[in-house]
Homo-oligomer: A and B are copies of this chain.
Amino acid sequence: MSSAAMDQPDALAELAHTHVTFADGLTLDCGAHLPELTVAYRTYGRLNEARSNAILVCHALTGDQYVAEPHPVTGKPGWWDAVVGPGLPLDTDRYFVICVNVLGGCMGSTGPRSARPDAPDELWGTDFPAVTIHDMVRAQKRLIDHLGIARLFAVVGGSMGGMQVLDWAASYPDAVFAAVPIATAAYHSAQNIAFHEVGRQAIFADPEWRAGRYWQTGGRPARGLAVARMCAHITYLSEQALARKFGRRLQHAAKDPSEAINLFGEMFEVESYLRHQGSTFVNRFDANSYLTITRAMDYFDLAADHGGDLAAAFRGTRTRFLLVSFSSDWLFPTAESRAIARALNRAAANVSFVEIETDKGHDAFLLDEPDFHRTLAGFLSGCAEHAGLPR
């Protein structure tokens, strides 16, 4: 990517987000206390009188709360526009959908971009304490309590969002009627940790990172973050999807002496696509948030938190589970969802498990997958009947 593409003003700094601030802060798993907790969120649909129709959507690593409306930085449609809306699986004519920017994120919730309480002219940067998936969930719980919702009708999310769903069901079983962990796992695998570490090292290697204090100079480790995104993006797709979309097709490439060495002045379309993914990402995401959130995923290990027995995390649960995996997802392969299903069975939980046939890889949960959407819609309607939700 050219440096020019990276040379945008800091779009994140100028945004205002719907939020609520809790003056008593939040104590984290690592022992640190955040003196103040801000939770930024968006809602879609209407909360009913009984406050019984709320669905919490948990977003993935690079997602945010703009689920079903244009993104304030990119202007692109919401990341789950195909799933959340009137008549869609998360039907906003029926359900009240909430999505929270995760703790540690960069879209308004408390995170490395927040001002330090002890030095309000400075940002947290990498001094922001390490957060866990459970910390993210506890921040969400504060908002849910604040909204007067005693029990969520459902908690739904893919990838890191699925980790949050599992943590919700394990931590607050009485507050979750139905749980839908999608394309996820109960722990982050060594291979996934390894890919995250490559991304982090790419950020650390960028001189603009300045040990995380880049906000002091107005710079950003945009190239490092773009490389991290490119590497991660490959893992979100399948080999088949890449072959189908791009194959080995070439396209013209301007000779840029500061960059690529292109044989015959051409480059592969897949390279151009990846560069585009990298350079657009850096305008809507913060490098320190990327570091904080990848770390939270790496540390996630729900069984370890329950004496090594995943079933123990769910013992006695009355939550209804739908697990979804995608056949070509190699980042969170079906075997990992199956392991969760087995643990839920051992815990005598009510669990459905569906593997969707698709060649779209991990990203399938974000894409137009009719089978997946039908499964999700059907499960939620069934649960709505059990929960006695009015039609």
Residues of chain A having any CB pair with chain B under 8 Å: 1, 30, 126, 130, 132, 187-191, 193-195, 197-198, 200-202, 204-207, 211-212, 223-224, 226-227, 230-231, 234, 237, 239, 242-243, 245-248, 257-264, 268, 270-271, 274-275, 278, 291-292, 295, 298-299, 301, 304, 330, 333
Known: A190-B242, A270-B193. A126 touches B261 (CB 8 A): yes
Is the Cβ of B197 less than 8 Å from the Cβ of A271?
yes
Is the Cβ of A257 less than 8 Å from the Cβ of B130?
no
Known: A190-B242, A246-B190, A274-B198. A260 touches B204 (CB 8 A): yes
Q: Which of B132, B189, B197 contacts A243 (CB 8 A)?
A: B189
Report the Cα distance A201→B189, complex, angstroms. 26
**Nearest neighbor of A246 in chain B, beta-carbon distance:** B190
Query: Could you say which residues of chain B place their CB within 8 Å of the CB of A247?
Result: 190
Query: Could you say which residues of chain B place their CB within 8 Å of the CB of A237?
Result: 191
Query: Could you say which residues of chain B place their CB within 8 Å of the CB of A224?
Result: 205
Report the Cα distance A298→B266, complex, angstroms. 12
Is the Cβ of B268 less than 8 Å from the Cβ of A190?
yes
Which of A130, A198, A275, A304: most chain B Cβ within 10 A? A198
Q: Which of B187, B245, B259, B268 contacts A298 (CB 8 A)?
A: B268
Query: Could you say which residues of chain B place their CB within 8 Å of the CB of A189?
Result: 239, 242-243
Is the Cβ of B231 less than 8 Å from the Cβ of A198?
yes
For this chain, the copies found in one complex come to 2
Q: Which of B1, B202, B270 contacts A227 (CB 8 A)?
A: B202
Is the Cβ of A234 less than 8 Å from the Cβ of B194?
yes
Query: Could you say which residues of chain B place their CB within 8 Å of the CB of A187?
Result: 248
6 nearest A-B residue pairs (beta carbon):
A130-B263, A205-B223, A190-B242, A191-B239, A197-B271, A198-B231
Dominant secondary structure of chain A at its interface with chain B: helix
Query: Could you say which residues of chain B place their CB within 8 Å of the CB of A275?
Result: 197, 201
Report the Cα distance A214→B330, complex, angstroms. 38
Query: Could you say which residues of chain B place their CB within 8 Å of the CB of A188?
Result: 248
Query: Could you say which residues of chain B place their CB within 8 Å of the CB of A292?
Result: 261
Query: Could you say which residues of chain B place their CB within 8 Å of the CB of A211?
Result: 257-259
Q: Which of B30, B234, B261, B304 contacts A295 (CB 8 A)?
A: B261
Give chain B nearest CB distance to A325 CB in angstroms. 15
Query: Could you say which residues of chain B place their CB within 8 Å of the CB of A204?
Result: 223, 258-260
Known: A227-B202, A242-B189. A195 touches B234 (CB 8 A): yes
Is the Cβ of A197 less than 8 Å from the Cβ of B274?
yes
Is the Cβ of B271 less than 8 Å from the Cβ of A194?
yes
* 10 more A-B residue pairs beyond the given contacts A190-B245, A205-B226, A330-B330, with a C-beta to C-beta distance below 8 A: A126-B261, A190-B248, A191-B237, A193-B248, A194-B270, A201-B274, A204-B223, A204-B260, A261-B292, A263-B299
List 21 interface pairs A-B (beta carbons < 8 Å), by A numbering.
Answer: A30-B264, A132-B263, A187-B248, A188-B248, A189-B239, A190-B242, A190-B243, A191-B242, A193-B248, A197-B270, A197-B275, A198-B227, A198-B230, A201-B275, A202-B205, A205-B223, A205-B226, A205-B227, A211-B258, A231-B231, A239-B333
Report the Cα distance A204→B207, complex, angstroms. 13
Known: A187-B248, A207-B207, A263-B130. A242 touches B274 (CB 8 A): no
Is the Cβ of A260 less than 8 Å from the Cβ of B205?
no
Report the Cα distance A383→B270, complex, angstroms. 41
